Amino acid sequence: MKIGEIFTLNKTQHELDFVDVDIEKDKSVFIDPFFLSTRNQPWCLDASRTVKSFFQIAIDLIKNSKTEEARSLFSHLHEPNETCLGLSVGTPKGRGVGDDDSKRIFDSILQSKAVQSGLVDDLEDTAIFIEGIDRDKVSDMTTNIIRKHLIDYTTSQCNLWNIPLTPNVPTGFFWNSAKAIWDNEYADRLVIEDRPLLLVPKIAVSYWKEYTNQKYYQHDILNFLKGEHLKNRSGLVRERTLKDGTKHYYVTKNDIAERDAPYSKQFLREFTLKHPDIFENFKEKSSKTVAPVTNNALEEINLGNLIDYLIKNLNEISPGPTNASTYHKLAIGILELIFYPGLNNPIKEREINEGRKRIDITFDNSASDGYFLRLSSVHQIPSRYIFVECKNYTSDTENPEVDQLSGRFSVNTGKFGILMCRKIENRKLLIARCIDLWKQKNELIIPLSDLEVIEILKAIKEKKPRPEEETLNNLQREVILS
């Protein structure tokens, strides 16, 4: 049974920010530290820094021959079964790292000398170069290291969806990068059937298909060796005559693999020590090709039917304070569907300014392209976070609502907000208020009524590419260029 079903959220994966796992079996996606390091998203950046903090200290200890101190760092990489991610069959067992396994992993790292030689700089590199370490083990090690980040994220998502938490539950060991130690606390936690669970952001998981030893070997090493054989006209070079009579020389990867480069992690280590630039190029190329897991990959559904359902629900919610909570809940799911992966990690009613003001919803801005990236890169509008106010009013929003959203802006957090409302009767007046704010403070508020939301949803159903971009651009021009 999935988390959403257990707590009757009535939400599909498209409307949820976390991976909606079945607690009875693992979902075959992973927390990949390489993928985390490529995401321009606050939560991922913080988690990645924690992973790097842990592994850099481990590397330094190994290089300085402080073996037992380094070994002790790995002693807390216990077997996690809290995320329901990975490759277990049946009930999740966290098959990545157990007590004995963590000892074997450390011994493998030590024996390979991959750290001492400078081959391994990051935790994810161990899966490429070191025997006995694969993506499942690295994912589980990462889960242990960033457990506190996952607990905090779980808490925020449970608060968002009113999922009850159990107080004073041990966190289990996590890496405290500020103190550079393994730490342990008590916290309010999501517990189901006496089992603490961790929710994982969709933006933070991958199938781990890009940054792998096999891809490095097949696409980078063998291609490089093909070029070398052709350049030197080695004995592996074959020739054939084309139809126009010219000769074509070629080398097959199979011939190279059989004679000169049989696959093994030892071979990868030896090759990379001789040609470090090939690995660096692989790393750089992989960082540009990895992409967030799509909603449909996590859960196959009929998107058209879902959109019809959301539009129907939106139309059936009557404006007014009685239905404000229902509208708020629906709006969060719709925004998640429309803007993922550019916006994520929605947090409800976050306190700011020492609790004096509250924001309906705050999203992290992790856009790598498109409208939300251009806000800062082109228009110079701070937009680390995107603020959203949801107003289920029976009448138009007025100056107090615009001022309320504007009052939450700052250079450090962001100066862009979306004012969601049910309808706009006097459009000219509301836009004029947004224009005044832009001219006076260079702060941008875009009003988004049911009309625009439904237009975007219908365009997504019709498979138009990124219709939200056109809507936001048009609304922005209306404010900035008027």
CA distance 50 to 70: 17
Q: Is the pLDDT of residue 355 over 60?
A: no
Average pLDDT, the chain: 91
- Looking at residue 96, its pLDDT comes to 44
Determine the pLDDT at residue 71.
93
Residue 13 per-residue DSSP state: G
CA-to-CA separations, 454 to 79, 301, 311, 422, in angstroms, rounded: 46, 20, 6, 11
Q: What is the pTM of this model?
A: 0.91
What is the pLDDT at residue 287? 93
Per-residue pLDDT band at 24 (split at 50, 70, 90) = very high
CA atoms within 13 Å, Cβ hemisphere of 268: 25
Output the six-digit token pair for 207: 């199938």
Residue 250 is predicted with a pLDDT of 86
pLDDT in tens, 416-456: 999 999 999 999 999 999 999 999 999 999 999 999 999 99
How far apart, in whole angstroms, are the C-alpha atoms of residue 91 and residue 419?
44
Strands 205-206 and 30-31: antiparallel
**Mean pLDDT, residues 177-184:** 96
- Across 125-263, where does the E strand assignment appear? 166-170, 174-176, 181-183, 186-192, 195-197, 205-206, 238-241, 247-250
Burial 191-228 (b: 16+ CB within 10 A, else e): eeeeebbbbbbbbbbbebebbbbebbbeebbbebbbee
- The confidence score (pLDDT) of residue 423 equals 92
Segment 227-286, tens digit of pLDDT: 999 899 888 889 888 888 888 888 999 999 998 889 999 999 999 999 999 999 999 999
pLDDT confidence band for 357 (50 / 70 / 90)? very low
Q: Do 434 and 442 form a contact (C-beta atoms < 8 A)?
A: no
pLDDT-derived band at 396, boundaries 50, 70, 90: confident
| Residue of higher predicted confidence among 354 and 467 | 467
Does the pLDDT of residue 45 top 90, yes or no?
yes
Is 397 or 330 the better-scoring residue by pLDDT?
Answer: 330
The neighbour count for residue 146, using CB atoms within 10 Å, is 30
Is the pLDDT at 353 greater than 70? The verdict is: no
33-37, 329-333, 334-338, 396-400: range with lowest mean pLDDT = 396-400
Structural domains in the chain, sorted by start: 3-206 (no CATH), 213-289 (no CATH), 302-480 (3.40.91.30)
